[in-house]
Each structure stands twice: as C-alpha cells, then as structure tokens.
Structure 1
Amino acid sequence: MSLGKSIYELTNLFTIYRWNNRPALLRFTEADNVFHSLILDLISIEYLNKKGYNLPISSNIKAKIFKELPKIILSDVSLDTKKRILEKDEKMWKMVLKKSYDELKENKIVQFFESDYDIKFKKYAQFIDLMVSLKEMEINSRIFPEYFEGPKQETEKNLRKLRLNLEHINELESILNYVLKTSTRLTTMYRWNKNHRNVKSSVSSHTFMVVSTAIIFYYLDNRNNDKLLDEIIIASILHDFPEAFTGDVITPTKKKVKGLENIISTIEEEMIEEWLKRDEDTILIFERFKKYMINPFDNEYGRYVRASDLFNAMLECAIEIKSGNSQILFREAFFNMKKELKQFNFDFIYELIDEIEKLTFFN
C-alpha cells in the first residue's frame, strides 16, 4: 500500500461515529475524540513538566495516535462492550489488537507513530481519555438521560478511582475542563461550511489529520531535531484553536479586502488573551503555547504545519470528488492547493500528491 493511500485511509476516522447505538444530540467522530485527547495530553505534559516531571511531548503524542490506529480496521467498539470482552477473556481482546496491528503493517503510516506512553504519563493519558468520553456523555445525557446516564455514572466512577493515584490532579483537572469546554466548539464547526459535503469534517477532526500528517512530513524530510518535532506537534494541535472564538472565517473572505486578514489576526489574539485571563491557572500553562496559536505557520516548524494543513484540505476535496460531489469548488480547490503545496519544495510532496490524485480521479 502506498503512503498516500495509507494517509487517505486515516480519514476513515472521519466517518466512524461514537455512541452509534444511541440517539445523540452531538456525535463525536473518532477523529474528533482523538483531537480532544491530544490537546489535553499536550497541556497535561506542559503542566506536569512545570512540576518537574520531565515528560517528552513527541513520544506521548505519537503513542496516543498509535493507540487509535486499529480503529481504521475495527471501527468503534463501545466502552461497555470492550469492558465485557475484557472481563470474559482479556487475552482474546489482546489478540484482536495484535491482529489489527499486523494487518496495519501494510499501512505505511504505522511506522511513524509506533511509540509507548511514558510510564509516568500513562495513567494521566487514561484519565484524559475518560474525561473526553465523559464530555460527550454529559452533552448528550441532557436530552437523552435514559441512554447516557448509566455509562456516564460508570465513567465518573472510573475517573474517581484514577484520581486517587494521580498527583496534582485537582488543579490539572480544572485546567483541562476549562480547555475542553472551549475545544468542544471545534467539533460543532464544519469545514467548507457553505457547501454541501458528502463526508463532513469538523475543525477538530481536520486538526487531528494535520497533527498526524505534520509528524509524517517531519520524518519524510529526514529531520533529526527533537525540539523541531515538538514545535511542529504543538503548532499543529493549536493551529485552528482560535476558531473556537472567531468561528471559521474562510480564506477568500479574509482576502476580500486588503488589510482584513491582519484585523482578523488581531481579533484572534485579543480573544485568546481574554479567554486566558478568565482562568489564572490556564494562562500559566499557555504562556509558552500562545505564539503557536497566533502564528502557527511562522518559522521552521510553520512550514510543516502549513504544508500539512494544505495537504489535508486537498485530501478533504479528494474525498468529496471521489464520493461523487459534483460541485466545481472542490475540483478547483484541489488543483489550487496542489499547486501551492509544490511551492514548499519538500522532495516527498510530489509523490504524495500524485498518489492522492490517482486515488481521486483514476481509481
């Protein structure tokens, strides 16, 4: 399987909806869910490092993505079903995961993410995954308590157990809840909003793809610079976070009148500052991250983030075209972004673009 096709298959997580056997007010896709865990993982690592933990960013973020890759094959298995499988035969579930990873060996992206959580961070990562699941349940249980109250109570119970063994968890959890309340807005924002979509992608699911692809681009470019990889990951995770405040102002609107783009950037910065000032603990954690939110495409790390952002916008166009969406917009955008991507002069980009083009128009 070509690398381009492997990246294309990662977009399967756009169409795997969680809690699919229950009515829901808001459905998170697997891609949405991973994004929220990634941003909370990043914040937790920063917080714990300020407490002297010395946790690496890149290996822990890659470990989260690696953990989710079997869902490309398995789709979503609910927490309740998975729990019951583990109770009946834990070895059986481990065999299912092993077989899935074996199948994924044909998928070339696996090699870029194979990583384990730092032992000191693993339980925090489990706590964060449960927090994100609980957020989904809390939203939906307001309308459908008869379907969500049971799993909600079970998740709250599991969170209470984990809290007993996690240092600094009260202050950290407060920060994470503050951020999650805001990042959830990105799941309700759909890209290409004024156009019909056959396969919808939210800002949060798009961000998950940008993070994943930016990591792949870093390795394809044969870089060996841990600080650069960390910066690429931070900027990728946060590059669209300001849209939680401003909404999705599309590029043609920003460029409609000279100077409007600069005004919007100023507004983004003002809104971020106002949001941070409303929570003193959060502002301390974000002091290092703020520049990556406001200027995600600056400096060396920005080349990878911007290229990944464009590549995934092109990929979204490819999905629409391949699914039979006949709007000319998606064809025009596909070829405009193809042209723009080639200007980055990454040696690997030409072959990837060709692979996506063949998948879109000739398969």
Structure 2
Amino acid sequence: MSYPFFALMARMKYITRWGLMRNSISENDAEHTLQTVMIAHCLAVIRRDIFHQEADPERAAMLALYHDASEVFTGDMPTPVKYFTSDLHKQYEKIEDQAREKLLATLPEELKPSFSPYVVDMEKDELWPLAKAADTLSAYFKCMEELRDGNTEFREAYRSIGEKLKKLHYPEVDWFMEHFADSFSKTLDELNR
C-alpha cells in the first residue's frame, strides 16, 4: 500500500500566501515553513543558550515544520478572513483540526504515534508558543522585505504584526529582533559588507 503523506506535504509549494495583497515577491507555504523552522530552532537555542532555560531546539523546529501542514487541504486562509467574525474563526479552527487528522491518517499506523505530536497535537507542546512566534516573525520579515522593495501594500501588516510581536513579551523574540531583524531590510550588497 502507498501512503500519500509526503506527496501531500510536497504540495505546500503550490499554496500561495498573502492572497489578498499585491506581492512584489510571491511566497508559498514551503518557503514560509523553511524560514519558520529556522527561526523556531533559533528561538529555542536563544532560550537555552542566552537565557539558560531548558529548551529543545530540534523539537521546536519540528513543531514549526508542520505548523501549516493542514493547509495542504485548506489552503492559506488570509488573516482578515480568518478573523472576520469570531464564529468564522471557531469554524476555521475546527476545519484545521479535521485537516490535521486527515493528514495524519495518510501515514502507516506504525508511524502515526511519532508524527501525531507534530501534525495533530502541536498546540499541546510547551514549545508551541516559540513555533507560533517564529511563524509571526516570518510574516513580519516578509512585510519588511516587501517594504524594502517599495511595496507599501504591506505597511499596515508590518505595523500590526510588529505590535503583536511586542505584546508577546517573549525574551527570545525580543533578543532575536534586536540581533537579526534589521538585516531583513538590507539589500544583498549591504548584507555582504
């Protein structure tokens, strides 16, 4: 029997993000996920190595790896639509849960227990807030890059996501922002200096 789990995951490259906005650089779920994984890993390293608190960077990275996996069935719901009404948001959360379960069902029975913590139960993990923060940071950096390239369409998203990051009050996020964020507004030549 053939199982479609990884073929479905490979389709993340077809899911376009920021569907309601004009993009100067298109972004798909696979690209966004890679960046989110790297940032989540780093946030956990910062927690462990800078703030000397227990954290498993590889686990944080795995949580981020599957954070948008349900979108292989649902597509990327734009944030303004997802939060248009509280009822719609609750319904969408149910759809996401069903999509996660459907994705898990595409694995052999023997593998499901090892994947379930990342595909279905990720929000129960104590490192989930770092994975979600990484997701938000990735969106923020997308906005920075668009603004750097002159696309003012992302001005309000940049402002509101920046406020969201500040309100988290996560020392790992603040440290990451202080040490890495500015580089996303630079050109390649500036980064190579």
Q: Same fold (TM over 0.5)?
A: yes
- 1:339 aligns with 163
Change (3 A) 1:198 1:295: farther
Identity %: 21
CA distance in 1, matches of 2:182, 2:103: 41
Gaps of 5+ in 2: none
> Counterparts of 1:1-363 in structure 2 under 5 Å?
174-175=2-3, 178-222=4-48, 225=54, 228-277=56-105, 279=106, 281=108, 283-294=109-120, 296-327=122-153, 330-354=154-178, 356-357=181-182, 360=185
- Measure, in 1, the Cα distance between the counterparts of 2:107 and 2:174: 46
- Total equivalences in the alignment: 183
Equivalent residues of 1:238, 1:292 under 8 A apart: yes
Specify the code of the residue in structure 2 equivalent to 1:201: E
Instruction: Give the alignment's Cα RMSD to 1 decimal.
Output: 2.6
CA distance in 1, matches of 2:87, 2:139: 24
State the alpha-carbon separation in 2 of the partners of residues 320 and 215 from structure 1: 24
Is the alpha carbon distance of 1:331 and 1:247 closer, same or farther for their aligned partners in structure 2, counting shifts above 3 Å?
same
Residues 9 and 69 in structure 2, CA contact (< 8 A), matched pair in contact too: yes
State the partner residue of 1:4. Answer: none
TM-score under structure 1 length normalisation: 0.45
The higher relative CO (CA closer than 8 Å, separation ≥ 6) is in: 2
| Distance of aligned partners of 1:295 and 1:250 in 2 relative to their CA distance in 1, 3 Å threshold | farther
Give the AA of the match of 1:345. Answer: H
Which structure is larger by alpha-carbon Rg, 1 or 2? 1
1:224 CA drift (Å)? 6.0
Aligned structure 1 segments of 4 or more residues deviating by more than 6 angstroms: none
